[in-house]
Structure 1
Amino acid sequence: MAHDKEPAPLLKDLLNPKALARIGRAAAQVHPDFDERAYLAMARKGLEDLSIMQRLSHAADCLRAHLPPAYPRALKIVRQMAPLLPGGFADMVLPEFVGRHGLDHFELSLEALRELTPYSSAEFAIRPYIAQDPEAVLALALRWAEDENEHVRRLASEGTRPRLPWARRLPLLAAEPQRTRPILEKLRADPADYVRRSVANHLNDMAKDHPEWVLDLLEGWPTQQPETKWIAKHALRNLIKAGHPRALQLVGATLGAKVRLASFDVTPRLLRLGQTLQLKTTLVSTADQPQKLVVDYAIHYVKKNGESSRKVFKLRTLALEGGAELTLEKAQTISDFTTRVHYPGRHAVELLVNGLTVAQGHFELKKPKA
């Protein structure tokens, strides 16, 4: 039986006073005149009330305030700091420094982002540069797509994603997907899974605005190759969940799947926050030949205003032999986390096979105990 993992810590909590202290120590190591104590006092002030992106911006601005006034000299210090830090989300403060304070030194700053991205990631920091001069940055990103460093190659795709979560939107790239196509073409068979995942997410962003364009593109790619096949499946995940015929066909799912539902159980019917929902279904093939099935489920979450919001989850993708019977189970803990707050009420549950609803159930989420 599959179980959901416990939710990860909030990303913003990774940029905490301890991480700020590490950044301050690195700055002092490189630049002896750096006032580490003053930096920390400024950077820690009001930190708890800030969101994920506000924390990055605040820490970067505090760093700028305590480095030499001349940007090229300050940037040299920031570049020297990067190898002294452990890497990871908190250290994105360094590229954020470049993103917020380097636009007047365009070429110097872009080269710094290429250098800094292997230590954390410059996917947020590069976006103001794209907004200022998209042609120049896209031409540079196309060269980065051939860089020997996989982090730089990933930046070419991730930094130009139209709908990168938490990041500044790029309306031009969202409206004209062909602008980043040459980058994605270069990266579609990249040896690094890290890079291919970014390509898939980039295409998934595009599919929200231009589904047919994405399908046209992928239908021209060699999806029989394992790397490209994975990209297509991951890029089309939302279209597959929605039952889009071309998307299902592209990943090999059987259109108009022939199955009979033997059972669909949603238990328990009454839950409290923190308890586990159990789903169990048995499907029987009514076809003579094997069928590829994409089995998902959807929960209609009750919103604060009493309306509902449908969220589709993966259950399993499988090949079902003619006449065969298969039982699938899923356990999902109903807990609040960053992107979802639960409200009491009746939650509908759907079982989907190749995008079509084949069964429905529900559970009642009770109010938390006082």
Structure 2
Amino acid sequence: MTDQPNPAALKEIFDRNRLRHFVDQTRAISSTFDAERFYAHATQDLDGLGIMQRMRRTAEAFALTLPQDYENALGVLAELAPRIGHGFAAITLCEFVVLRGGDDFDRSMEALRLFTRYGSGEFAIRHFLKRDLHCTLAVMRRWAEDENEHVRRLSSEGARPRLPWSFQLREIVADPALTMPILDTLKADPSLYVRKSVANHLNDFSKDHPEWLVDRLGCWPLDDPHTQWIVGHALRTLIKKGDAKALALLGVTGKAEAKVEAFAVSPPTLALGDRVSVSARIASSGESAQKIVADYAIHYVKKNGSASRKVFKLKTFTLEPGGEQVLSISQTIRDFTTRTHNAGFHEVDLMLNGEIVARGGFELAI
């Protein structure tokens, strides 16, 4: 499953214990830190705030209580950063840069370059991109060559046109060429952490510029395994749609020459919290080896009785002449903030190279 984590659970990252930890550590660094004012502001209406609201409220509390001189305040936070001990909690340091550093571009860029090593600056940098796109992208192009993987990842993740939990960067949505110099630099990055971001960045482009994306990736040297990995994940949305050009770029040409000898969705009836399993046995009917991309889709029943189809990755494999491939996967059927389930029969499709080759389903009882 690729759904975002549940913010209702994540908001407890900024609970009262965490805020007291901030107080204790900052007080040990700065003798002028107003601990009582910080805690009072950070905990105001805390129970009713979501994860991102709590994060920003904490940054506001720092803005109220740290030295008014921006450079001195950053010095305190630079000492605090390695003491926080939690990646998401440390994002509040980057949010402080947004609140106080809008008029000090160079110092703010250097602060984000430091703080992102402890908690990603992907949300904060977007405010600077929105204010001055080209100057900020120029800095991020340099970050793409940084020795630290967290900084390199920020150069990609922060400029994603459709970053979850943040606003869209409409200029980049309209013109993907703006960030391609960054992605070109990172196309064979040794860090999986960075490569995942590059693939997600490119996948964002597939939603608005699918043909442009396939043509652009077709110019990348696919003999490098790191680049191959990025391209395969970058094209996942197009592959799930059966896009012929995207499939061809991965070495998948045309309809799969294969037979589905067994396909099962089990159990036939389940409740929320149960796991559904999808399995199949695929036999080659071709005379040569062929690359196969297998996906499955669940048609989620909506309140009005219609269905919303979501495609999931199953497996990519090579099927030899006369060979077989067994496929199997399972997932838990549970509610997310992005999806609420309804009772009814949920159809399940099996797809090979973008074509539906088998269909089953399960009854969800609620």
Report the TM-score range of the alignment, normalised by the length of the smaller protein.
Answer: over 0.9
> In structure 1, how many angstroms separate the alpha carbons of the residues matched to 2:163 and 2:5?
19
SS of match in other structure, 1:161: coil
SS of match in other structure, 2:159: coil
SS of match in other structure, 1:202: helix
Q: What's the counterpart of residue 280 of structure 2?
A: 281
Mapping of residues 81-100 of structure 1, within 5 Å: 81-100=80-99
Mapping of residues 121-200 of structure 1, within 5 Å: 121-200=120-199
Q: What's the counterpart of residue 243 of structure 1?
A: 242
For residues 1-38 of structure 1, what are the alpha-carbon distances to aligned partners after superposition, in whole Å with 9 as ceiling and x for unaligned?
xxx79996743332322222222222212212223233
| 1:353 equivalent in alignment to 2:352 | yes
> In structure 1, how many angstroms separate the alpha carbons of the residues matched to 2:332 and 2:113?
41
SS of match in other structure, 1:227: helix
> In structure 1, how many angstroms separate the alpha carbons of the residues matched to 2:69 and 2:4?
43
Q: What's the counterpart of residue 106 of structure 1?
A: 105
> In structure 2, how many angstroms separate the alpha carbons of the residues matched to 1:174 and 1:89?
26
- The one-letter amino acid of 2:269's match is L
- The one-letter amino acid of 2:32's match is D
Of residues 53-62 and 215-224 in structure 1, the stretch that sits farther from structure 2 once superposed is 53-62
Kindly indicate whether the alpha-carbon contact (under 8 Å) linking 2:22 and 2:84 is maintained by their aligned counterparts in 1.
yes
Deviation (angstroms), 1:265: 1.5
- The one-letter amino acid of 1:215's match is V
Kindly indicate whether the alpha-carbon contact (under 8 Å) linking 1:285 and 1:324 is maintained by their aligned counterparts in 2.
yes
Kindly indicate whether the alpha-carbon contact (under 8 Å) linking 1:15 and 1:89 is maintained by their aligned counterparts in 2.
no
- With over 3 angstroms needed to count, the CA separation of the structure-2 counterparts of 1:175 and 1:345, relative to structure 1, is same
Kindly indicate whether the alpha-carbon contact (under 8 Å) linking 2:347 and 2:359 is maintained by their aligned counterparts in 1.
yes
> In structure 2, how many angstroms separate the alpha carbons of the residues matched to 1:308 and 1:14?
35
> In structure 2, how many angstroms separate the alpha carbons of the residues matched to 1:21 and 1:311?
42
Kindly indicate whether the alpha-carbon contact (under 8 Å) linking 2:293 and 2:316 is maintained by their aligned counterparts in 1.
yes
**Sequence identity percentage:** 48
Kindly indicate whether the alpha-carbon contact (under 8 Å) linking 2:144 and 2:155 is maintained by their aligned counterparts in 1.
yes
> In structure 1, how many angstroms separate the alpha carbons of the residues matched to 2:302 and 2:86?
38
Kindly indicate whether the alpha-carbon contact (under 8 Å) linking 1:99 and 1:127 is maintained by their aligned counterparts in 2.
no
- With over 3 angstroms needed to count, the CA separation of the structure-2 counterparts of 1:6 and 1:275, relative to structure 1, is farther
For residues 118-173 of structure 1, what are the alpha-carbon distances to aligned partners after superposition, in whole Å with 9 as ceiling and x for unaligned?
11111111111011111100111111111121211111111111111101211011
Kindly indicate whether the alpha-carbon contact (under 8 Å) linking 2:264 and 2:360 is maintained by their aligned counterparts in 1.
yes
- With over 3 angstroms needed to count, the CA separation of the structure-2 counterparts of 1:30 and 1:307, relative to structure 1, is farther
Q: What's the counterpart of residue 42 of structure 1?
A: 41
Of residues 238-247 and 255-264 in structure 1, the stretch that sits farther from structure 2 once superposed is 255-264
Deviation (angstroms), 1:285: 1.3
Kindly indicate whether the alpha-carbon contact (under 8 Å) linking 2:3 and 2:336 is maintained by their aligned counterparts in 1.
no
Task: Give the TM-score normalised by structure 2.
Answer: 0.94
> In structure 2, how many angstroms separate the alpha carbons of the residues matched to 1:277 and 1:301?
13
Deviation (angstroms), 1:183: 0.9
- The one-letter amino acid of 1:263's match is A
In structure 1, the gaps of 5 or more residues are none
Q: What's the counterpart of residue 330 of structure 1?
A: 329
- The one-letter amino acid of 1:315's match is L
> In structure 1, how many angstroms separate the alpha carbons of the residues matched to 2:23 and 2:347?
50
> In structure 2, how many angstroms separate the alpha carbons of the residues matched to 1:173 and 1:26?
39
SS of match in other structure, 1:209: coil
- The one-letter amino acid of 1:122's match is G
Count of residue correspondences: 364
Of residues 252-261 and 108-117 in structure 1, the stretch that sits farther from structure 2 once superposed is 252-261
> In structure 2, how many angstroms separate the alpha carbons of the residues matched to 1:58 and 1:23?
13
- With over 3 angstroms needed to count, the CA separation of the structure-2 counterparts of 1:107 and 1:5, relative to structure 1, is closer
> In structure 2, how many angstroms separate the alpha carbons of the residues matched to 1:339 and 1:25?
37
| 1:118 equivalent in alignment to 2:122 | no
Kindly indicate whether the alpha-carbon contact (under 8 Å) linking 2:292 and 2:353 is maintained by their aligned counterparts in 1.
yes
- The one-letter amino acid of 1:82's match is A
> In structure 2, how many angstroms separate the alpha carbons of the residues matched to 1:306 and 1:13?
36
SS of match in other structure, 1:359: strand
- The one-letter amino acid of 2:188's match is A
Q: What's the counterpart of residue 318 of structure 1?
A: 317
Q: What's the counterpart of residue 68 of structure 1?
A: 67
Q: What's the counterpart of residue 58 of structure 1?
A: 57
For residues 211-254 of structure 1, what are the alpha-carbon distances to aligned partners after superposition, in whole Å with 9 as ceiling and x for unaligned?
11111111000012101000000101111111111111111124
In structure 2, the gaps of 5 or more residues are none
Deviation (angstroms), 1:185: 0.9
Of residues 334-343 and 290-299 in structure 1, the stretch that sits farther from structure 2 once superposed is 334-343
> In structure 2, how many angstroms separate the alpha carbons of the residues matched to 1:333 and 1:103?
44
SS of match in other structure, 2:124: coil
For residues 253-280 of structure 1, what are the alpha-carbon distances to aligned partners after superposition, in whole Å with 9 as ceiling and x for unaligned?
2421111122222222221111121222
- With over 3 angstroms needed to count, the CA separation of the structure-2 counterparts of 1:276 and 1:7, relative to structure 1, is farther
- With over 3 angstroms needed to count, the CA separation of the structure-2 counterparts of 1:104 and 1:305, relative to structure 1, is farther
SS of match in other structure, 1:340: coil
